[in-house]
Amino acid sequence: MRHASCAALLVVAGLIASSALLVASTIPARAQTLDDQERCASQAEKAFREWERDNKTGPLAGFSKPLSSDYESHFNTKMKKCLILIESTDSVTGTGNTSNSALLMDAFERHVYANYSWVSSQTKKYWEVKPLMCDLISAAQPKKNCADRDEFDAFVAGVWSKYWSEASISSIANLIALITVPVPHRRPG
């Protein structure tokens, strides 16, 4: 009995010690990741502002009026890439049509990974209108055309989640967060 208690205590002590070593070994990497994420966020904002300026003053500026635009950024620690997803909605000049576009690119190198552009039609329902452009560019495969926004979004989600998962699992806290299931809250009434 006494030996079993000692053995259990040694196992627990070993787990605590190895956990402490794991956490300590991730601190420099985590600090670097936070620095990289901050640099990425700053660069993504700069890339977005440049994109907005080019969108307003470039050769296609007279064809549409910007209604809204926004962006998200994410740093891929494995590939050392800063990704930015830009989405915009414009009013097409003189037609009454609306255009939606999305662009996934590297915020530093401006390498495009995916590009989507769709314009509404006065004579068709929105789901009947095919995109003007839907390009998916993967490092592993040649450029592929996609059929619709769902296919574009699935590609982006795959790239985003692949990069996100590689960056996320860096400490015990993140591992615990991955296995903890949130309990949904119900609203009264």
Q: Which domain holds residue 63?
A: 36-168
pLDDT, mean of residues 171-187 = 40
In a domain, 104, yes or no: yes
Q: What is the overall mean pLDDT for the chain?
A: 74
The pLDDT tens digits for 105-148 are 999 999 999 999 999 999 999 999 999 999 998 767 788 999 99
The more confident residue out of 66 and 13 is 66
The pLDDT tens digits for 85-108 are 999 999 998 898 999 999 999 999
Amino acid at 48: F
pLDDT at residue 162, rounded to an integer: 56
* Strands (E) located in 77-167: 81-92, 98-106, 112-119, 133-136, 144-145
Domains: count for the chain: 1
In a domain, 176, yes or no: no
